[in-house]
Chain A
Amino acid sequence: YVQLVPSPAEHAVRRYVLLDLIGDTLTQLEANRKDCARYLMQVSWLCNEDVCSVMATAQHPEDVDPETALVFEYLVAEALFTHLLQLPESASREMYYASLAIELRKAEPKIMARVLETAVDGIVARAAMLDVECINRLSNWLAVYVSNFAFQWDWARWEAVVQEPEAAPRRSFVRETLLKLVRLSYLDRIKAHVPESCLALLPAKAPGHNFKFTVQAMDERTREVSVALGRCLKSKGTVDQALEILQTHYSQWTDVDDDERQALAREMLVEHVLLLGSKTFSHMLNAIEKFLPALQQFGDAPEAKLQIARTVEDFWLRNPQFCAITIDKLVNYRVIDPVTVVEMLFDPAHAGRWSDFHLWEILRNTITKVNMRVVQLQTRLKTARAVAAVAVLIDAAEQPAAETAEHVEAILAQMEREQRDVVVVTARHFVRLLAATDGSDRAWLLGRFKEFMRTYRAQVAANAAELEGLISAAAASPDVRQVFDATLLLAA
């Protein structure tokens, strides 16, 4: 259990029992967080008066001293954060613990506000010792919590982090939480709530796109293509018209070979499609859907897909949220593959940037998506087979159903191959990078590697032999081997 405040040693057993009781309430009443909060505030009524102090009923809550007696409200906070930060997975979705904390504060405003503040302070003070995943979860939690109480939080208490190196755990935590708060509102709002001393942690400008073909940056012939294509898209031209423009212009570039021409055309099209859809996510989806045939045509080989992914990342360099969603949708529409995303994330250009949370977010979303697809297909296959079996009983001429089952089997096989690839390629990149990096970035990498192995341990175990070979071949350092062995044990 997380210990947030000192508690008298002689009450250790009592503390454990109470934490257990509170923890059970958290788990049992997960389906109704409002009633759970109410009940939690009443759990102390179940105990005799001398078991613990209850700030809510004390004459002078400020005088309640955790060193002399157990304090009920702190125990509630300890149980909540223990559950939230539990590894490998928390019992319920992270969001539950955020919305439950909000309900607790609503139930007992002054007291729980202070208790939760102290709790967060205490955990953040130990950020250097926390698992990377726990830092990430706490950051998510804090962003939701603060955004529900008018974005009020005393950031000044952490102003010392500005002196720390950029990749330091505490500084990264504060920075990433602020970025999440910006996503939940907007930059100027958060700037207004942050003291002068902490402004360095926020980006200078509001997130926007990074369109490559701005008028200043181009040579004459590139400008021609860009302007022509831009006009075509703006006047709602068809996909064929767009492709024709690209064809006519680039075929005149005699000094470059075919591959180079394709690459240039690919980049030009992707940049313009992204610009077309740069207003909102719905616009982006519409733009992708309209140009889907062209994008798929241009994404014919792994290198091509990688170029598309890199163009997207470049375009949305200053807006990681938009980048993540665009990549996500492109994977959904099968313009790029999950493996493409992995390759893009482990690009050498990201060296030293693994303290940014969004790299891991994209990786995790991609692998989870692949796993979910496999599960869905397996369910579909079961239904298809059941239908086919029934059809066989009723009427031997029921061919369509049997074909469906085979069809699903084929897709499932492909998905499972993708699943295998994603896990193996990711592991290979991690091992390679961990061997080549050191310093604080390595700490982040190792943390993410641990989380990757933990979360996807089922797939790791399924591909144990190949990963074993990978790790031995790379002569990986002992901590990497340790993580791998521990994962296999966990998965058993």
Chain B
Amino acid sequence: MASASPVSSALVDDAFTIVPRLDRPSTYKDHQYHGSSEQWDSDLSKTATLYIGNLSFYTTEEQLYEVFSKAGEIKRIIMGLARNTKTPCGFCFVEYYTHENALECMKYVNGTKLDDRIIRTDLDPGFREGRQFGRGRSGGQVRDEYRQEYDEARGGWGHMRAKQEEERQRQQDESYEAIATVPTGAELQINSRLGPAASSQPREDAY
């Protein structure tokens, strides 16, 4: 609750970087942000808004409130939605009343788990209408467009990969022919020094 004393900040400080502080913005810069680099930095230094990423599609606002209220009183939470379906697509904005609360969120909540997923928080210049929608081609977030891993909580395959899987399925449907009989495999003569090959009769204790 109390902020760090002046003595402690000497140890954890930009000038010394003995231990880098966690309540700093990441290197991400929103390419749709209207303003100069200085404006961006200035906004981030006063903001009470955070971007939250890597959420499950099924994480509810109740769960978000429960976790994020631990860093301060929440003004509001804006769920990130897919552009077409308007369903949650795995990110949100959390607005506190003070910049200090946002910094404490970065220090204590960023990197912990929500819904069994490690969530990422980042200082955000502020919500504007339209920013609540995903910017990927399929309507969700860009990262879900190109994701190659299967993520059950984020719609399964990434969109590109899903199309590839569909394509493979189609090819298999078109060109595959069922295998009617199981091949027996060729009989092999083994060098007599090494002993006979494993019996071609099935063993009784094999399945």
Contacts of A36 in B (CB 8 A): 19
| Partner-contacting stretch, out of A94-102, A165-173, A241-249, A444-452 | A94-102
Total chain A interface residues with beta-carbon distance under 8 A? 44
Cα–Cα, bound, A150→B114 (Å): 10
| Partner-contacting stretch, out of B39-47, B72-80, B166-174 | B72-80
The verdict on A282 contacting B79 (CB below 8 Å), with A93-B1, A184-B63 known, is: yes
**Residue A154 at the chain B interface, CB threshold 8 Å:** no
Query: Closest A-chain residue to B66, C-beta based?
Result: A183
The verdict on A322 contacting B62 (CB below 8 Å), with A184-B114, A281-B77, A282-B79 known, is: yes
The verdict on A91 contacting B70 (CB below 8 Å), with A184-B114, A322-B62 known, is: no
**Residue A180 at the chain B interface, CB threshold 8 Å:** yes
**Quick check: B107 and A30 within 8 Å, CB to CB?**
yes
Cα–Cα, bound, A420→B78 (Å): 34
**Quick check: A95 and B2 within 8 Å, CB to CB?**
no
**Residue A252 at the chain B interface, CB threshold 8 Å:** no
**Quick check: B4 and A96 within 8 Å, CB to CB?**
no
Chain B positions 66-95 with a Cβ under 8 Å from a chain A Cβ: 66-67, 70-71, 73, 76-79
**Quick check: B77 and A282 within 8 Å, CB to CB?**
yes
**Quick check: A92 and B63 within 8 Å, CB to CB?**
no
**Quick check: B4 and A31 within 8 Å, CB to CB?**
yes
Contacts of B1 in A (CB 8 A): 89-90, 92-93
Contacts of A318 in B (CB 8 A): none
Residue of A32, A93, A376 touching B70 (CB-CB under 8 A) = A93
**Quick check: B61 and A280 within 8 Å, CB to CB?**
yes
**Quick check: B73 and A368 within 8 Å, CB to CB?**
yes
**Quick check: A34 and B66 within 8 Å, CB to CB?**
no
**Residue A27 at the chain B interface, CB threshold 8 Å:** yes
Cα–Cα, bound, A353→B111 (Å): 36
Contacts of B67 in A (CB 8 A): 184
**Residue A185 at the chain B interface, CB threshold 8 Å:** yes
**Quick check: A28 and B22 within 8 Å, CB to CB?**
no
Cα–Cα, bound, A325→B104 (Å): 21
What's the nearest-Cβ distance from chain A to residue B95, in Å? Answer: 12
Cα–Cα, bound, A322→B65 (Å): 10
**Residue B145 at the chain A interface, CB threshold 8 Å:** no
Most interface-central of B112, B114, B115 (chain A CB within 10 A): B112
Cα–Cα, bound, A95→B103 (Å): 13
Query: Closest A-chain residue to B3, C-beta based?
Result: A92
**Quick check: A32 and B108 within 8 Å, CB to CB?**
no
Contacts of B156 in A (CB 8 A): none
**Residue B97 at the chain A interface, CB threshold 8 Å:** yes
Contacts of B108 in A (CB 8 A): 33, 93, 95-96, 98-99
Query: Closest A-chain residue to B88, C-beta based?
Result: A280
**Residue B12 at the chain A interface, CB threshold 8 Å:** yes
Cα–Cα, bound, A60→B101 (Å): 44
**Residue A148 at the chain B interface, CB threshold 8 Å:** yes
**Quick check: A372 and B112 within 8 Å, CB to CB?**
no
Total A-B pairs, Cβ < 8 A: 104
Contacts of B23 in A (CB 8 A): 31
Contacts of B19 in A (CB 8 A): 29, 31-32, 35-36, 39
**Residue A365 at the chain B interface, CB threshold 8 Å:** yes
Query: Closest B-chain residue to A102, C-beta based?
Result: B112
Contacts of B66 in A (CB 8 A): 180, 183-184, 321
Contacts of B112 in A (CB 8 A): 99, 102, 144, 148
Which DSSP category, helix, strand, loop or mixed, fits chain A's interface? helix
Most interface-central of A34, A150, A184, A285 (chain B CB within 10 A): A184
Query: Closest A-chain residue to B4, C-beta based?
Result: A30
Contacts of B70 in A (CB 8 A): 93-95, 98, 140, 144
**Quick check: B115 and A32 within 8 Å, CB to CB?**
no
**Quick check: B21 and A31 within 8 Å, CB to CB?**
yes
**Residue B177 at the chain A interface, CB threshold 8 Å:** no
**Residue B109 at the chain A interface, CB threshold 8 Å:** yes
Cα–Cα, bound, A93→B69 (Å): 12
What's the nearest-Cβ distance from chain A to residue B87, in Å? Answer: 12
Cα–Cα, bound, A33→B109 (Å): 10
**Quick check: B65 and A95 within 8 Å, CB to CB?**
no
What's the nearest-Cβ distance from chain B to residue A178, in Å? Answer: 14
Interface string of A140-166 (1 = CB under 8 A from B): 100010011011000000000000000
**Residue B11 at the chain A interface, CB threshold 8 Å:** yes
Interface string of A168-194 (1 = CB under 8 A from B): 000000000000100111000000000
Cα–Cα, bound, A30→B107 (Å): 8
Cα–Cα, bound, A111→B24 (Å): 31
Contacts of B104 in A (CB 8 A): 93, 95
**Residue B8 at the chain A interface, CB threshold 8 Å:** yes
**Residue A209 at the chain B interface, CB threshold 8 Å:** no
**Residue A428 at the chain B interface, CB threshold 8 Å:** no
Contacts of A481 in B (CB 8 A): none
**Residue A369 at the chain B interface, CB threshold 8 Å:** yes
**Quick check: B76 and A31 within 8 Å, CB to CB?**
no
Cα–Cα, bound, A17→B111 (Å): 32
The verdict on A31 contacting B107 (CB below 8 Å), with A144-B112, A180-B66, A281-B61 known, is: yes
9 closest A-B pairs by CB: A95-B108, A95-B70, A31-B21, A31-B12, A183-B66, A281-B61, A148-B113, A35-B19, A28-B8
24 pairs from A and B in contact (CB 8 Å cutoff): A28-B8, A28-B11, A28-B12, A31-B4, A31-B22, A32-B12, A32-B22, A35-B20, A39-B19, A89-B2, A90-B1, A91-B2, A140-B70, A147-B114, A148-B113, A151-B116, A184-B66, A184-B67, A281-B62, A282-B77, A282-B78, A321-B62, A322-B62, A376-B97
Q: Which chain B residues have a beta carbon within 8 Å of chain A's beta carbons?
A: 1-2, 4, 8-9, 11-12, 19-23, 60-63, 65-67, 70-71, 73, 76-79, 97, 104, 107-109, 111-116
Q: Which chain A residues have a beta carbon within 8 Å of chain B's beta carbons?
A: 27-36, 39, 89-96, 98-99, 102, 140, 144, 147-148, 150-151, 180, 183-185, 280-282, 285, 321-322, 325, 365, 368-369, 372, 376
